[in-house]
Chain A
């Protein structure tokens, strides 16, 4: 007999795992659709390939482990992982990048640890970082946005060739991302006033997402819209996004004030790369982030700090993936040391004093 029939409470809220996963995916829809629109069919194919392979890998692992394939697949977690991997890929990356990414996320990132809830690292970020290390060329070939059906947008067959036959991207269709550009220019001794502001960096375009970048990351605005909706639905709590974004903004402001030529300001940092996606969708991953509100604040701040540090002084242009993985590694430590205060006890877990100083 089912335990819920025998043991209190005899009523429960209607929140369910698959509902949560579905809500997160729904929140990803605006940014994803935007990515597909500005980067064309290849982006759509890549997204499809990545999500489908995530499902196939999950099903295969479950079958191998003798677990109920259908029941678990339906929780939506594999599809969400695949989707998140797709969000972080260059939109015109070849199909096998999506397959390998999904494989790393599901098999290495999740199933080897025992499946949902057991993995120490965020599967999507693990996949992204592994791809970046293993296939640096494919992972840093960026596409410039173009209006749908405009002359620069590839047709259906060209698109199939781009995604599935590895056709080289047409010249004039590729360009660096803003962060990548900023770092190259800096390394060549040019300051910000010469590089970004002279043409490449446009705040409005950056916020809206009209720029080169990963499939689902370019539009900070749409990512934030999805994220705020998740906050409103109480799927995620405010602690991680707020502390992450504040830390990024604060560190950027401090350094921009010290030397505005070398360090980009907070607006640049907040609107480029994967910061917003990380703040609302990646760092907030339940499984790999701390469970106490205080722990979440620390975790978010840590992610934010590492993002800024890696972007500013690291060898890789993008810091989000590494930062989140680093903080994931610290999650058990944070969870061990940062716990809520228990009713009637002080912060160290000792009973509160009685009035009059007795214990």
Chain B
């Protein structure tokens, strides 16, 4: 990269880039969380609901299990266990389509509820703050808590890292900047005390003294509820408003907003003394540590104009999205796209017969008008994508290079720094699917990297074999020569 990028414009303010997508939150924001979702006939528990290795089943087919019982244990350093969302019988362990654009089959455990919904014996802790700090992350890990904002990174791993690096600030993301989504908003309004309790528990586990909760200024009720809940803790948990701007929930944007610091490229937020968790994660942590309840359900926004009764539902993990959608008055005939997550960064789903996973904050059935899809036109170099990019990239240049097949050159423009936030595609007046290009190119580069690696490995193996072969040949030759010499000596001696 020959670029000398001088002139640090756009860096003086605390927020860079960002867009203002239409919020579309009205339909779900004013309805209380629906907790009376009927247990589905069957739950599909994906063993890969988190970043890292899939979990390994510890129950047999036919086994009766209780709600909260461990079904599959985490494997490796970055993984999370899976627990039973209700009591019932394990009827099968099979490959089932995952909630992913490819809908590729993943190892999945089938659970048939018995309708009793009986918990395992859980013990409530009167005072979680008397636990040794490292015990917090142990319990969070055992409860299978992962980041609930979408990334699904095992929370215990993050907490451990935070404790080891002695972070100074715990940032709690209550931004919920994606359109449609209101599950965090409702959670903060209805269960603020539990969320704050969860934050305090995390602070204890991190041996850290300061938490800042950032809530977008378009959620005054959530802000008020959280402020009231945090008030008794004397500034330990500060609740603050942030401008409603997408992607305000991007951890690095929030970090910059609150600390003025940037996470160095290739680094982690912990490197500059900050850790970020989502409000729903704080709630799950509280449930896990204070009540010993593993993560077996979540609050999810079901919305989009192809459902007639959009709302936030507290549903067991493993519920088929189709069941959830049907519960909310889904009209399949009006649906153009199924989306898991928010419309800006969510994943396309080819069909809704896939299970709810821990990281799913939204399920959207969008109509054609909502998606507003039309064909891409020529780039007019209007630079709207440049001003929208929170990462300071030049989307139009990257796109042009990827189109021309020059992936390496796109890397020089910061392809690896793209967070796929979608702001650029959102503003593009030519409706160019920029993010699609970037995801494609990143995937392609990874694939090439792997192929290169494999080729090199094959080459190395071949070379080693060749070397071994030659060595053997040499050794044999030497041996033969030795024998010959010996034989000769013997004949000479005999003579």
Which single member of A11, A237, A292 contacts B179 (CB below 8 Å)?
A11
Tell whether, in the assembled complex, residue B5 and residue A15 are in contact, meaning their CB atoms are under 8 Å apart: no
- Give Cα distance in the complex from A55 to B143, angstroms: 67
Residues of B391-419 at the interface with A, using a CB-CB cut-off of 8 Å, are 391-394, 396-397, 413-414, 417
Q: How far is the CB of B359 from chain A (nearest CB, A)?
A: 15
Contact B8 A287 (CB under 8 A): no
Q: Which residues of A contact B267 (CB under 8 A)?
A: 344, 351, 354
Task: Please determine whether A2 and B387 come into contact, CB atoms closer than 8 angstroms.
Answer: no
- B residues within 8 A CB of A77? 380
Digitize B336-368: 1 where CB-to-A-CB distance is under 8 Å, 0 elsewhere. Answer: 110100011111100000000000000010101
Contact surface of B with A, Cβ cutoff 8 Å: 1-11, 16, 19, 21-22, 24, 101, 179, 252, 256, 262-267, 271-273, 336-337, 339, 343-348, 364, 366, 368, 370-384, 386-387, 389-394, 396-397, 413-414, 417, 420, 422, 425-431, 433, 435-436, 439
Q: A7's closest neighbor in chain B, by CB?
A: B436
For A287, list chain B residues within 8 Å (CB): 380-381
Residue A257, interface by CB 8 Å = no
* Contact between B271 and A354, CB atoms less than 8 A apart: yes
> Which residues of A, 322-356, contact B by the 8 Å Cβ criterion?
335-345, 347-349, 351-355
Residue numbers in A under 8 Å from B273 (CB-CB): 355
Cβ-defined contact, B397 with A338, below 8 A: no
- In angstroms, Cα B381 to Cα A292, docked, is 10
With A75-B377, A237-B387, A287-B381 in contact, is A10–B337 under 8 Å at CB? yes
Report the number of A-B residue pairs with Cβ-Cβ less than 8 Å. Answer: 215
Closest to A13 in B: B427
Q: A11-B370, A13-B426, A116-B378 are in contact. Are A343 and B344 (CB under 8 A)?
A: no
* A344 CB contacts on chain B under 8 angstroms: 252, 262-267, 417
Q: Report chain A residues within 8 Å CB of B19.
A: 13
Q: Which residues of A contact B346 (CB under 8 A)?
A: 8, 10
Q: A339 — which chain B residues lie within 8 A by C-beta?
A: 3, 5, 394, 413
**With contacts A5-B373, A291-B386, A342-B5 known, what are 11 further pairs, Cβ within 8 A?**
A5-B368, A5-B371, A6-B101, A10-B339, A14-B372, A291-B394, A340-B389, A345-B265, A347-B5, A352-B265, A354-B264
Residues of chain A within 8 A (CB-CB) of B339 are 8, 10
Q: How far is the CA of A75 from the CA of B376 in the complex (A)?
A: 13
CA distance A5 to B374 in the complex (A): 9
Which residue of chain B has the shortest Cβ distance to A339 in the bound complex? B5
Q: Contacts of A340 on B, CB cut-off 8 Å?
A: 5, 9-10, 386, 389, 392-394
Residues A349 and B381 in contact, CB atoms below 8 Å apart: no
Q: Are A342 and B414 in contact (CB under 8 A)?
A: yes
Identity of the chain B residue whose Cβ is nearest the Cβ of A336 in the assembled complex: B3
Whether A13 lies near B379 (C-beta < 8 A) is no
Most buried by A among B22, B264, B379: B264
* Residues in A whose Cβ lies below 8 Å from that of B436: 3, 7
Check A11/B371 contact, CB under 8 A, given A117-B380, A286-B383.
Answer: yes
Query: Would you call B265 and A342 a contact (CB within 8 A)?
Result: yes
**Which of B11, B383, B427, B430: most chain A CB closer than 10 A?**
B383
Docked pose: A347 CA to B256 CA in angstroms: 17
Q: Which stretch from A16-24, A214-222, A244-252 is at the chain B interface?
A: A16-24
Nearest to B370 among chain A residues (CB) is: A11
> Closest 9 A-B residue pairs measured CB to CB?
A294-B7, A9-B422, A4-B373, A339-B5, A351-B265, A344-B265, A10-B343, A352-B264, A291-B383
Which residues of the other chain, A, contact B373 by a CB distance below 8 angstroms? 2-5
Distance of A2 Cα from B373 Cα, bound (Å): 7
B24 contact set on A, CB distance < 8 A:
11
CA distance A296 to B346 in the complex (A): 34
User: Taking CB as reference atom, which chain A residue is nearest B378?
Assistant: A117
B262/A343 in contact, CB under 8 A: yes
Contact among B7, B379, B417, B425 with A342 in the assembled complex (CB-CB below 8 Å): B417
The interface residues of chain B lying within 8 Å CB-to-CB of A341 are 5, 8, 10-11, 392
Asked if A17 and B429 make an inter-chain contact with CB atoms under 8 angstroms apart, the answer reads yes
Question: Cβ of A115 < 8 Å from any Cβ of B?
Answer: yes
Of B343, B377, B383, which contacts A8 at CB under 8 A?
A: B343
Closest to B364 in A: A10
The answer to whether A348 touches B429 (Cβ under 8 A) is no
Beta-carbon contact of B379 and A117 below 8 Å? yes
Q: How far is the CA of A115 from the CA of B377 in the complex (A)?
A: 11
| B431 partner, pick from A4, A115, A336, A342, beta carbons under 8 A | A4
Neighbouring B residues of A351 by C-beta, 8 Å:
264-267
